[in-house]
Amino acid sequence: MKIGIDKIGFYAPHLYVDMNKLAAARNVEPEKFTIGIGQEKMAVAPITQDPVTLAANAALIILDEEDRAKIDFVIFGTESGIDNSKSGAVYVHRLLGLNPNARSVEVKQACYGATAGIQMAKGHIALNPDSRVLVLASDIARYGLNTAGEATQGAGAVAMVISADPKILALEDQSAYLTADIMDFWRPIYSDFAFVDGKFSNEQYVLFFKTVWEQYKTKTNLGLNDFEAICFHLPYTKIGLKALRTILEEASEESQERLLANYQSSTLYNRNVGNIYTGSLYLSLVSLLEQSEQFKSGSRIGLFSYGSGAVGEFFTGILQPNYQEYLYSEKHAELFASRTEVSIEEYEKMFQQTVPVDGSTAVFGSTNDPAPIQLKGIKDNMRQYENKTN
Ligand code: CAA
C-alpha cells in the first residue's frame, strides 16, 4: 500500500521585514543577509498569531469535510509550543471542528518534530488504511534583537494530510536516521529565546547530512542520479546548498545541473518567510513542487530533516501522477501577494510584545491581522482563540 502526503499547505503571518533594511539597521552589509545567509524577507508574527493559530490557519487552507470526518490523529510538531502540558494539537482539533474520535499529541525534537510526526502517521495509516492523519509543523523562531541568529528568524506553519494512496508524494520505506547528544541549539523551559552555537550548529548540520546520506546509499544501493531533487531543512537558504555541495560530485553533470536548479526552486518560499524550524523542510517541499516545472510522475524526491540536539533523517518520496493539480499554488501566491512590510522599529516593538505570563487578562482587539484564526487574548491563564470562519 502506498502511504504519503495527500495534501500540503502553508501559512505565514501577513507581516514581514525586508532583510536589506534589517542589515542597514544592524550595520551589516545587506549582501551578508541576502547572499551569505540567503534571505530576502522575514515573516513577523503579530501578537494575534502563535504556533497554534499558525498551524490552524495552514490546515484551514487544505482541509475539506471528508478530511474533517476521516482524520483520527492530529500530530503537532513544534519547538515553540505554548504549553508544557497540553498539546497544540488539541486546540487545533477544536478550532477546525475535527472528528472527536481522534488522537491529538505534540511532538518535540527541535526542527525534527514534524518528521517524527510523519513517520508516526505512516505507521498509523499502515494499521488503519481508511483513516487520515493531520501532521502540523508550526513554529516562531526567536533568537533576540541584535543577535547573530536574528537574521535567521521567521514564523509560519505547514499542514499535511497523510493518507493511503496519496495524491502528491508516496513515501518510500527505506530511510536513514541518526541521534547524537550535542549542544548546538537548545531552549531551556525558562527561556523565550534559543541558545545557539552558530558555527557548531552549521558543522553538525552538514555532518549529519553526510552521515545519513552515506547510510542511505548503503541501505538502498541508490545514488544521487536517482533523485530529481533534494529538499533540505532550511533555517536559512544557504545552508542546504552547503550540504548539497559536499556530495554533488557523486552525480553526473546533467544531474548536478538538475539538482542545483531544483535546489533554487526549493528555497524560494523559505527565502521569503525565514526559518519556521520544524516546518522549514516542508515549506521547501511546497516551494519545490509549486515553483518548478511539472516533474514526471515517478520522480524521486529526497528530504533531509535536521533537528538540533540532534536528530537527522534522510528519507524519500515518489511523485504521484498529476500531483500539481492537488497543490494550493494559487492560495499561496495570494498569501505572499497580500503581505505588508513593517519597518524595523515596528518589528522591534512587535518582537517585545508578548502574552502576559503573570495571570493578568489581555485582549488583543485592535490589530489588522487578516488571518481567519487568531489569538484574541488571555484570561485566567487560558489563551482565547477565535475562528472567524465559524
Ligand atoms: N557578502 C556576501 N556574503 C557575506 C558577506 C557579504 N558582504 N558578509 C558575510 N558573508 C557571508 C559569510 O562569508 C558567511 O558565508 P559562509 O558561511 O559561506 O562562509 C555568511 O555570510 C554568514 O556569515 P557569518 O558566518 O559571519 O555569520 P554569523 O556568524 O553572523 O551568523 C549564523 C550566521 C551562524 C548562521 C547565525 O545566523 C546563527 O547562529 N543562526 C542560528 C543557527 C542556525 O541557523 N544554524 C543552522 C544549523 S542548526 C539548524 O538547522 C536547526 C535550526 O533550525 C536552528
pLDDT per residue as tens digits for the range 238-263:
999 999 999 999 999 999 999 999 99
* Mean pLDDT value across the chain: 97
Please indicate, yes or no, whether residues 349 and 369 belong to a single structural domain of this protein.
yes
Cα distance between residue 377 and residue 142, in whole Å: 21
Please indicate, yes or no, whether residues 197 and 223 belong to a single structural domain of this protein.
yes
Pocket-testing residue among 112, 202, 231, 232, ligand 1, by greatest number of atoms within 8 A of Cβ? 202
Q: What is the pLDDT of residues 3-28, one digit of tens each?
A: 999 999 999 999 999 999 999 999 99
Q: Give percent of the chain above pLDDT 70.
A: 100
Quick one: average pLDDT of 352-362?
Answer: 94
Please indicate, yes or no, whether residues 313 and 184 belong to a single structural domain of this protein.
yes
Closest CA to 42 of 153, 147, 184: 153
Residue 365 pLDDT exceeds 90: no
Going by the annotation, the residues of the binding site are 143, 242, 275
Please indicate, yes or no, whether residues 33 and 155 belong to a single structural domain of this protein.
yes
User: Which 8-state DSSP code applies to residue 325?
Assistant: G
Total domains present in the chain: 2
- For 175, the grid coordinates are 530511510
Please indicate, yes or no, whether residues 343 and 300 belong to a single structural domain of this protein.
no
How many angstroms does the Cα of residue 31 sit away from the middle of ligand 1?
Answer: 12
Residue 305: in which H helix or E strand, if any? strand 300-307
Residue 115: in which H helix or E strand, if any? helix 113-127
Pocket of ligand 1 (CB under 6 A): 29, 31-32, 35-37, 111, 148-149, 151-152, 184-185, 196, 198-199, 201-202, 205, 233, 235-236, 239, 275, 277, 306, 308
What angle (nearest 5°) sits at the alpha carbon of residue 274, between those of residues 162 and 196?
A: 100
Residue 76 pLDDT exceeds 70: yes
Please indicate, yes or no, whether residues 41 and 127 belong to a single structural domain of this protein.
yes
Please indicate, yes or no, whether residues 264 and 254 belong to a single structural domain of this protein.
yes
Q: What is the pLDDT of residues 277-324, one digit of tens each?
A: 999 999 999 999 999 999 999 999 999 999 999 999 999 999 999 999
Tell me which of 271, 287, 322 is where a domain ends. Answer: 322
Quick one: average pLDDT of 141-158?
Answer: 97
Cα distance between residue 7 and residue 111, in whole Å: 21
Which residues are catalytic, by number? 79, 111, 233
Residue 123 pLDDT exceeds 80: yes
Q: What is the pLDDT of residues 198-230, one digit of tens each?
A: 999 999 999 999 999 999 999 999 999 999 999
User: What's the pLDDT band for 366 if we cut at 50, 70, 90?
Assistant: low
Please indicate, yes or no, whether residues 132 and 271 belong to a single structural domain of this protein.
no
Quick one: average pLDDT of 345-351?
Answer: 97
Residue 56 pLDDT exceeds 80: yes
Peptide bond into 310 cis (omega under 30): yes
Indicate the Cα dihedral angle 118, 162, 167, 282, nearest 10°. -40
Indicate the Cα dihedral angle 143, 111, 134, 154, nearest 10°. 30
Residue 166 in contact with residue 3, Cβ under 8 Å? yes
Nearest residue by C-alpha to atom 20 in ligand 1:
36
Please indicate, yes or no, whether residues 139 and 287 belong to a single structural domain of this protein.
no
Please indicate, yes or no, whether residues 298 and 332 belong to a single structural domain of this protein.
no
Q: The domain spanning residue 381 has which CATH number? A: 3.40.47.10
- Looking at residue 65, its pLDDT comes to 96
- Looking at residue 390, its pLDDT comes to 86
- Whether pTM > 0.85 for this model: the answer is yes
Please indicate, yes or no, whether residues 281 and 343 belong to a single structural domain of this protein.
no
How many angstroms does the Cα of residue 36 sit away from the middle of ligand 1?
Answer: 7
Question: What is the number of the ligand 1 atom nearest to the C-alpha of 29?
Answer: 7
Closest CA to 374 of 383, 382, 236: 383
Please indicate, yes or no, whether residues 56 and 105 belong to a single structural domain of this protein.
yes
Residue 179 pLDDT exceeds 80: yes
Indicate the Cα dihedral angle 145, 285, 179, 277, nearest 10°. 20
- For 350, the grid coordinates are 512587535
- Directed axis angle between helix 237-245 and helix 253-265, to 10°? 170
Tell me which of 275, 293, 322 is where a domain ends. Answer: 322
Tell me which of 322, 339, 360 is where a domain ends. Answer: 322
End-to-end CA distance of the chain: 36
Residue 78 in contact with residue 108, Cβ under 8 Å? yes
Question: What is the number of the ligand 1 atom nearest to the C-alpha of 235?
Answer: 53
Going by the annotation, the residues of the binding site for (3S)-3-hydroxy-3-methylglutaryl-CoA are 143, 242, 275
Q: Which domain covers residue 140, as residue numbers?
A: 3-169+327-387
Residue 64 in contact with residue 383, Cβ under 8 Å? no
